[in-house]
Amino acid sequence: MPSPVRCRMIRTRLIDALRAALAESGVEPLPATIEIGRPARAEHGDWSSNVALVCAKAASRRPRDLAQDLVERITARPPAHVRRVEVAGPGFVNFHLDHGWLHDVLRQVIAEGVAGYARHDFGAGTAVNVEFVSANPTGPLHVGGGRWAAYGDTLCNILARCGYAPHREYYLNDRGRQMDAFAESLIARREGVEPPDDGYHGDYIGEWAAEMPGDADAGEWGYARARRDVAESLARLGVRFDTWSSERELVRSGAVDAALATLRDRDAAYDADGAVWLRSADGGDDKDRVLVRSDGEPTYLLPDIAYHADKLARGSHLLIDVWGADHHGYVERLTAGFCALGNRREQLEIVLGQLVTVMRGATEAKISKRAGNLVLLDDLVDLVGADAARMTFLLQSLASRQTIDLDVVAAQSMENPVFYVQYAHARVCSLAATAAERGIERPPLAEVPLGALDQARELAVLRTLHALGDVVGEAARERAPHKLTTWVRELAGAFHGFYHDCPVLRSDVAPPLRAARLWLTEATRIGLVIALELLGVSAPERMDTLTPDDAEEAVE
Stretch 259-288 residues interacting with RNA (CB under 7 A): 273-275, 286
Q: How far is the CB of 257 from RNA (least distance, A)?
A: 16
Is 273 or 447 the residue whose CB approaches RNA more closely? Answer: 273
Q: How far is the CB of 300 from RNA (least distance, A)?
A: 3
Strand 318-324 to 127-131 pairing: parallel
Is 247 or 379 the residue whose CB approaches RNA more closely? Answer: 247
**By CB under 7 A, what part of segment 311-340 binds RNA?**
325-330
Q: How far is the CB of 104 from RNA (least distance, A)?
A: 22
Is 157 or 392 the residue whose CB approaches RNA more closely? Answer: 392
Torsion of CA 499, 501, 504, 510, to 10 degrees: -170
- First-to-last alpha carbon distance for the chain, in angstroms, is 57
Is 254 or 329 the residue whose CB approaches RNA more closely? Answer: 329
Q: What is the DSSP letter of 142?
A: B
Query: Quick check: 300 binds RNA (CB under 7 A)?
Result: yes
Contact with RNA (CB under 7 A): which of 101, 221, 338, 419? 419
Contact 461, 494 (CB under 8 A): yes
Contact with RNA (CB under 7 A): which of 14, 15, 22, 45? 45
Torsion of CA 434, 440, 441, 447, to 10 degrees: -130
Kindly write down the DSSP assignment for every residue of 172-213, as one continuous string: E--SSHHHHHHHHHHHHHHTTSPPPTTS---HHHHHHHHHS-
Q: How many DSSP H helices and E strands does the chain contain?
A: 21, 15
Is 89 or 372 the residue whose CB approaches RNA more closely? Answer: 89
The H or E element spanning position 199 is: none
**By CB under 7 A, what part of segment 64-103 binds RNA?**
88-92, 94
Query: Quick check: 501 binds RNA (CB under 7 A)?
Result: yes
Contact 461, 518 (CB under 8 A): no
Torsion region of 81: left, alpha or beta (phi above 0 gives left; psi -120 to 50 gives alpha): left
Q: What is d(CA 382, CA 313) in angstroms, rounded to the nearest whole number?
A: 40
Q: How far is the CB of 9 from RNA (least distance, A)?
A: 18
Beta bridge partners of 246: 172
**Three-state SS string across 280-343, please?**
HHHHCCCCCEEEECCCCCECCHHHHHHHHHHHHHCCCCEEEEEEEHHHHHHHHHHHHHHHHCCC
Task: Quote the radius of gyration of the chain (alpha carbons, Å).
Answer: 28
Query: Quick check: 478 binds RNA (CB under 7 A)?
Result: yes
Is 63 or 108 the residue whose CB approaches RNA more closely? Answer: 63
Beta bridge partners of 320: 130, 349
Is 175 or 190 the residue whose CB approaches RNA more closely? Answer: 175
Contact with RNA (CB under 7 A): which of 383, 493, 512, 529? 493
Stretch that binds RNA, among 74-82, 110-118, 249-257, 424-432 (CB under 7 A): 424-432
Q: What is d(CA 353, CA 166) in angstroms, rounded to the nearest whole number?
A: 20
**By CB under 7 A, what part of segment 100-139 binds RNA?**
136
Query: Quick check: 440 binds RNA (CB under 7 A)?
Result: no
Query: Quick check: 244 binds RNA (CB under 7 A)?
Result: no
Q: How far is the CB of 58 from RNA (least distance, A)?
A: 11
Q: What is d(CA 394, CA 482) in angstroms, rounded to the nearest whole number?
A: 5
Query: Quick check: 224 binds RNA (CB under 7 A)?
Result: no
Contact with RNA (CB under 7 A): which of 249, 497, 533, 538? 497
Contact with RNA (CB under 7 A): which of 191, 447, 544, 552? 544
Contact with RNA (CB under 7 A): which of 235, 313, 436, 546? 546
Query: Quick check: 206 binds RNA (CB under 7 A)?
Result: no
Q: How far is the CB of 192 from RNA (least distance, A)?
A: 27
Contact with RNA (CB under 7 A): which of 4, 26, 43, 76? 43
Is 81 or 427 the residue whose CB approaches RNA more closely? Answer: 427
SS3 34: coil
Is 108 or 280 the residue whose CB approaches RNA more closely? Answer: 280
**Burial of 474 per CB tally in 10 Å (0-12, 13-18, 19+):** middle
CA angle (144, 148, 153) in 5-degree steps: 145
Contact with RNA (CB under 7 A): which of 13, 119, 236, 496? 496
Contact 104, 11 (CB under 8 A): no
Of 105, 109, 19, 3, which is closest to residue 55 (Cα–Cα)? 19
Stretch that binds RNA, among 74-82, 108-116, 256-264, 475-483 (CB under 7 A): 475-483
Contact with RNA (CB under 7 A): which of 15, 27, 34, 44? 44
Is 363 or 545 the residue whose CB approaches RNA more closely? Answer: 545
Size of the site for RNA (CB under 7 A): 90
Is 211 or 454 the residue whose CB approaches RNA more closely? Answer: 454
SS3 376: strand
Of 376, 378, 359, 381, which is closest to residue 142 (Cα–Cα)? 376
Contact with RNA (CB under 7 A): which of 31, 206, 417, 443? 417
Query: Quick check: 194 binds RNA (CB under 7 A)?
Result: no
Contact with RNA (CB under 7 A): which of 39, 163, 219, 443? 39
Is 5 or 467 the residue whose CB approaches RNA more closely? Answer: 467
**Three-state SS string across 418-463, please?**
HHHHHHHHHHHHHHHHHHHHCCCCCCCHHHCCHHHCCCHHHHHHHH
Q: How far is the CB of 407 from RNA (least distance, A)?
A: 13
Query: Quick check: 373 binds RNA (CB under 7 A)?
Result: no
Is 88 or 281 the residue whose CB approaches RNA more closely? Answer: 88
In Å, the largest CA–CA distance within the chain is: 89
Query: Quick check: 407 binds RNA (CB under 7 A)?
Result: no
